[in-house]
Structure 1
Amino acid sequence: MHAADTRADTGTGTGTGARPERIVVIGGGIAGLAAAHRLLTRDTGPAPHVTVLEASDRVGGKLLAGEIEGARVDLGAESMLARRPEAVGLAREVGLGDLLQPPATATASLWTRGALRPMPKGHVMGVPGDPSALSGVLSAEGLRRIEEDRELPPTEIGEDVAVGRYVADRLGREVVDRLVEPLLGGVYAGDAYRISMRAAVPQLFDAARAHPSLLDAVREIQGRAAAHPPAGPVFQGIAGGVGTLPLAVADAVRARGGEILTGAPVTELRRTTDGSPEPGARWRVVTPGRVLHADAVVVAVPAPAAARLLAADAPAAAAELAAVEYASMALITLAYRRRDAPLPEGSGFLVPPVDGHTVKASTFASRKWVWIAEENPDLHVVRTSVGRYGDERDLGRDDAELVGLSRHDLRAATGLTAAPVATRVTRWHDGLPQYPVGHPARVARVRAHVAALPGLAVCGALYDGVGIPACVASAYAAADLVAPAGAPAG
């Protein structure tokens, strides 16, 4: 038996239709923390007692604030899509509103065909509405191939299709290999020829189903965007790093009475329909040395861990989750003396895998984020990324080798020959879930199986998008599912 058998709250349990009083959130990444914050801050009567259990020794998941040579930096995700409200809204709610900052420059490049080339304008995730937008990136033959789109018969899409395969069928492989691949790879660390268009680029999926010509579909999307231009920046960062967001959310959860335990892996999650020491408690959550009984549980962990936890009571959901694949990657952060390391203008560059280089992207962090430059006027901070789905061989190298490979590619791309004064390598093993063809249907099946179990919900990057706003939105939906706003307390 375990050393302690404790409740997540001292109140009575809830019956059917009542708002849960004791809720356990499994996972302390941004999704789990956002779910906990939502549960504690909704204006729907008495807040439940919420306990967050995190297996590692810190909260935040793939959001990690750190430093290099005294400079504060992000060692994980560094920006949030601002055209979705959830992440920026959460940052404001937890007191970071005054620290929100858009990138100082949105001008990026492609390192392809032996040179840094300006990122083409006028495309939807690399798919152009006008072939001339890709001049300089594509060969003359590749540009001519795009023009064949309107002469081709319609391409069958069905319920889903791989972005790369569909775009290659319509416009040729060069468009995919030179532009779609690096752009999608920057989001998913994935393979465009496997990634679901329905999941990754839903607006393009919908438009493509309505138009036999892909160029016409893109132009429709661009026309709608031009008619309703969004206000404000596309992306936002946070002075001090996006990695400060989960720390601030955790502080807000604690301030509202929530409990957050790190170093607390959940080894068992079981329904307690009979024999629970807590009247009405539905779930038994086991961690080393402690057992909690809860009215509801939010599972906010990656697919392999979620599959293990759900195997006993939701075996069909667990089987679906066990089939989800992940990509691993490493981020190499380098600090240079500014006087020794002139950098090109812009925020950095993406690298098409077809060009055969080691790095997949590089960010000139001191140019991209004003707060880094202002806090560290004598430094240039540069990040590179290595590894993606199906191309993880370099991740077996040690840190020094990864730094050396990054320096080699930076020198070839930008002419940067100076030695960095400090380096950091951050490895994200199984860091990004992959969204292959059929992923939305898999997610729907998982949620249907989970919905059959009262007081249980799932959320996180593997469901509705890997970006921070999508993770927060999935967390809010999970919180609302296990604790409906209109339900009275038990």
Structure 2
Amino acid sequence: MSTTGRGLGHVVVIGAGIAGLAAAHRLLARGARVTVLEAGDRVGGKLLPGEIAGVRVDLGAESMLARRPEAVTLAREAGLGAALQPPATATASIWTRGALRPMPKGHVMGVPGTAAALSGVLSAEGLARIERDADLPRTEIGDDVAVGEYVAARLGREVVDRLVEPLLGGVYAGDAYRISMRSAVPQLFQAARAHTSLTEGVREIQAKAAANQQSGPVFMGIAGGVGRLPLAVAESVRARGGEILTNAPAHALRREPDGWRITAGERVLRADAVVVAVPAPAAARLLRAEAPGAAAELAAVEYASMALVTLAYRRADARLPEGSGFLVPPVDGRTIKASTFASRKWGWIAEEDPDVLVLRTSVGRHGETEILGRDDAGLVEVSRHDLREATGLDAVPLETRVTRWTDGLPQYPVGHHARVARVREHVAKLPGLAVCGAQYDGVGIPACVASAYAAVDQLEGDDRGVRDLAAHPVQSLHGGAGE
């Protein structure tokens, strides 16, 4: 069963998160026969629709970057074009130094082009430290560097601790002093290579963005929740003849002379090609027999756990500040790391029941264990405490829901790009095998879809997509408070 010269044949996709479903969708468009194996009882991975107090909400990711085309285009192809909806407000705050302060403008992931851009968030000493950047000698960054380490060296720790850290934490639930600048904020990495002054490099990024001004919103949601996306893609996959099997965990993957043998419970499937679209630990187990080098690299990938606390209130009882929510710097010692005023941010939530106000908080960062060890009631309690401190909200919720994402977010430490390159180098030695997912090229929805498309192209002998992702990672921009 070779894919050479006669199309892709039968392809098994392991994993029905958005990456696996996007791969299946693309494979069917290319004429393949597709079977998707999902270990759990549902599709969608970290995209999870839910309900609270009779209102539909997202219990996982709630928006997607619209300036990259992959996710929005996939939504349209899956029949959700009319449901695409930008945030009703993009105005957010940062809860720091004892007050809610307007989120600064004129920065790239918290790194300013001028000190004035962070006025009101940083102390006078912190602002003065930024001004010294222009007089400092070049900071060598080598092949990669931690975002926090580099920015602190150029602009001072206060910029990192009060703005970069909460912004990056909203994406990775990680530590800015460990996260790779090359993989997580590639624009800054290129600016650091090209300029001695970091603020000068940021101003150049901003000038280029202004010159290439794109119309339309930066982020997009879906009426009814982004959690509808994997369901719609799965429906499209089935309508095109693809098979999706849930409660079917793949536990063995072996190369045979005429293709691949996949064992999933009592099922044994044979395929011309396989796309492995599961998180790193599961991928490592599957690849151990045939690609031990790739398996070893994937087994070393670390993950952060987090929880989302969703709360519904009677609107008449709940007065909130303006905006879409707020971020919380870890340095301020609070428990929650962000809050999204969901009914403010998404018009469709407000329309479903105008008398109900929904908001959510997020808790948990990489390395934190104590807070996530608390029971659901404990997480609701600390969320309500911090919300009261930040906003004055003291009403009793109509309903609460806690959604735990254990090992939900892969970490991108310094050298992440090199690890991904080594994984793909090992995988490329095996015909008819490709990998995709959040642990490779970005944790956002467009990044996962782009990774899936590159994997399909690679099965057809076209590695341009993989090379493009390696050269131009999909930056996981922060989508507002609570993302």
Match for residue 98 of structure 1? 82
Q: Shift of the alpha carbon at 1:133?
A: 1.1
Q: Tell me if the contact between 1:19 and 1:484 (Cα under 8 Å) persists in the aligned partners.
A: no
Distance 1:20 1:134 in 2: 53
Match for residue 22 of structure 1? 10
Match for residue 369 of structure 1? 346
Find the partner of 2:274 among 297, 312, 329: 297
Q: Deviations over 1:427-459 (max 9, x none)?
A: 000000000000001001100100000000000
What CA RMSD, in Å, does the superposition of the two structures yield over aligned residues?
1.1
Q: Shift of the alpha carbon at 1:129?
A: 0.2
Distance 2:2 2:123 in 1: 66
Structure 2 counterpart of 1:122, one-letter code: G
Q: Secondary structure at the match of 2:250?
A: coil
Distance 2:160 2:283 in 1: 33
CA, structure 1 residues 262+142, in 2 after alignment: closer, same or farther (shift >3 Å)?
A: same
Distance 2:126 2:280 in 1: 39
Question: Does residue 265 of structure 2 align to residue 288 of structure 1?
Answer: yes
Q: Shift of the alpha carbon at 1:231?
A: 1.3
Q: Secondary structure at the match of 1:267?
A: strand
Q: Shift of the alpha carbon at 1:41?
A: 1.6
Q: Give the alignment's TM-score, normalised by structure 1.
A: 0.93
Find the partner of 2:204 among 220, 241, 244: 220
Q: Tell me if the contact between 2:3 and 2:432 (Cα under 8 Å) persists in the aligned partners.
A: no
Q: Shift of the alpha carbon at 1:484?
A: 5.0
The runs of 5 or more residues in structure 2 that have no matched partner are 464-483
Question: Does residue 194 of structure 2 align to residue 210 of structure 1?
Answer: yes
Match for residue 435 of structure 2? 458
Q: Could you say which structure has the larger radius of gyration?
A: 1
Q: May I ask how many residue pairs the two structures share in their alignment?
A: 463
Q: Deviations over 1:64-83 (max 9, x none)?
A: 00000110000000000000
Distance 1:433 1:424 in 2: 24
Structure 2 counterpart of 1:63, one-letter code: L
Q: Shift of the alpha carbon at 1:20?
A: 2.2
Q: Secondary structure at the match of 1:475?
A: helix
Q: Tell me if the contact between 1:269 and 1:309 (Cα under 8 Å) persists in the aligned partners.
A: yes
Match for residue 371 of structure 2? 394
1:63-212 equivalence runs, <5 A:
63-212=47-196
Q: Deviations over 1:28-52 (max 9, x none)?
A: 000000000001123xxxx221000
Q: Tell me if the contact between 2:10 and 2:32 (Cα under 8 Å) persists in the aligned partners.
A: yes
Q: Give the alignment's TM-score, normalised by structure 2.
A: 0.95
Q: Secondary structure at the match of 1:155?
A: coil
Distance 1:201 1:401 in 2: 34
Question: Does residue 275 of structure 2 align to residue 308 of structure 1?
Answer: no
Find the partner of 2:298 among 321, 331, 354: 321
Distance 1:98 1:392 in 2: 41
Q: Deviations over 1:290-338 (max 9, x none)?
A: 1000000000000000000000010000000000000000000000000
Question: Does residue 238 of structure 2 align to residue 238 of structure 1?
Answer: no
Identity of aligned residues (%): 78
Q: Tell me if the contact between 2:3 and 2:273 (Cα under 8 Å) persists in the aligned partners.
A: no
Q: Deviations over 1:404-432 (max 9, x none)?
A: 00000000000000000000000000000
Q: Shift of the alpha carbon at 1:393?
A: 1.8
Question: Does residue 24 of structure 2 align to residue 36 of structure 1?
Answer: yes
Q: Shift of the alpha carbon at 1:17?
A: 4.2
Structure 2 counterpart of 1:142, one-letter code: G
Q: Tell me if the contact between 2:95 and 2:101 (Cα under 8 Å) persists in the aligned partners.
A: yes
Structure 2 counterpart of 1:433, one-letter code: P
Runs of 4+ in 1 over 4 A off after TM superposition: none
Q: Shift of the alpha carbon at 1:386?
A: 0.3
Q: Tell me if the contact between 2:3 and 2:272 (Cα under 8 Å) persists in the aligned partners.
A: no
Find the partner of 2:256 among 262, 272, 296: 272
Match for residue 9 of structure 1? none
Q: Shift of the alpha carbon at 1:14?
A: 3.1
Q: Tell me if the contact between 2:33 and 2:242 (Cα under 8 Å) persists in the aligned partners.
A: yes
Structure 1 counterpart of 2:141, one-letter code: I
Distance 1:417 1:351 in 2: 19
